[in-house]
């Protein structure tokens, strides 16, 4: 099982991080180790190696069969379930590594950094590019996303990734975060919603 993620896929998030409405010609893709996966409401342990660990709520899709070099027009056949996940990021470490021109996977792919909610069949969730999701922390909404605002749609992302990696059943794609990212703290209670359905809930420790 592989975990893929898309960086800088919402303009307003790019602006809050970079101070500009940055975009590029292709999706920004990175991976997380399988030990990053956090499921079944398990607690997230804020790592000691960062002083600024941030939450990034995202729509996640699950690949449902083998595919390589998938044409864009067929990409929708390769995923069938969606949920909300959180891409935890050691932001201070990421900024330091990027400043030095170094790879920043350790700031994104550490253990427990890919929280994952319960799956919803796509036919129940609705049109993939018209889904609303949100993240609540301690009962307050901190992020709202609408997949219509993506710079690269889900089908584009699936087709693009499959140019370089063979997609297999069970692979996950975190599709990018909207604006509103913030620092997660011990004892925070996090809830992820897909529309009006709660699909994710856990505590930070």
Query: 20 or 197: whose pLDDT is higher?
Result: 197
How does pLDDT run across 64-102, given as a tens digit for each residue?
999 999 999 999 999 999 999 999 999 999 999 989 999
pLDDT greater than 80 at residue 21: no
| pLDDT number for residue 196 | 96
Whether 139 shows a pLDDT value over 90: the answer reads yes
pLDDT of 149 > 60? The answer is yes
Supply 82's token pair.
């969606």
Q: What is the band of 12 on the pLDDT scale with cuts at 50, 70, 90?
A: low
Tokens of 28: 């920004």
Q: What percent of the chain has pLDDT over 90?
A: 88
Residue 33 DSSP label: -
Res. 18: pLDDT tops 90: no
Residue 13, pLDDT score: 54
Q: Looking at the predicted structure, is the pLDDT value of residue 175 above 60? A: yes
- Residues 110-116, mean pLDDT to the nearest whole number: 98
Q: What mean pLDDT comes out for the span 6-30?
A: 71
Average pLDDT, the chain: 93
Q: Tens digit of pLDDT for each residue in 37-74?
A: 999 999 999 999 999 999 999 999 999 999 999 999 99
User: Does residue 1 surpass a pLDDT of 80?
Assistant: yes
Q: Which residue has the tokens 């067929």?
A: 74
Residues 6+ apart with CB under 8 A from 102: none
pTM (predicted TM-score): 0.94
pLDDT digits (tens, 9 = 90+) for 154-164: 999 999 999 99
What is the SS3 assignment for 184?
coil
Burial letters for 178-187: b for 16+ Cβ neighbours within 10 Å, e otherwise? bbbbeebeee
- For 10-14, what is the mean pLDDT? 66
CB-based contacts of 129, cutoff 8 Å, min separation 6: 147, 148, 150, 153, 154
């Amino acid at each position: 099982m592989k975990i893929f993620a898309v960086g800088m896929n919402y303009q307003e998030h790019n602006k809050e991080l970079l101070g500009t409405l940055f975009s590029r010609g292709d999706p920004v893709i990175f991976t997380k180790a399988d030990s990053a996966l956090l499921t079944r409401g398990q607690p997230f342990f804020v790592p000691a190696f960062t002083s600024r660990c941030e939450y990034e709520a995202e729509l996640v899709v699950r690949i449902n069969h083998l595919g390589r070099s998938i044409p864009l027009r067929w990409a929708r056949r390769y995923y069938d379930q969606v949920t909300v996940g959180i891409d935890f990021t050691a932001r201070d470490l990421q900024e330091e590594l990027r400043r030095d021109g170094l790879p920043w996977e350790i700031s994104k792919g550490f253990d427990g950094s890919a929280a994952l909610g319960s799956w919803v069949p796509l036919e129940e969730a609705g049109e993939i590019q018209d889904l609303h999701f949100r993240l609540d922390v301690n009962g307050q909404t901190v992020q709202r996303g609408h997949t219509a605002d993506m710079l690269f749609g889900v089908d584009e992302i699936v087709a693009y990734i499959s140019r370089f990696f063979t997609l297999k059943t069970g692979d996950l794609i975190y599709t990018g975060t909207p604006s509103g990212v913030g620092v997660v703290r011990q004892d925070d209670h996090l809830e992820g919603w897909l529309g009006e359905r709660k699909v994710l809930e856990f505590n930070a420790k």
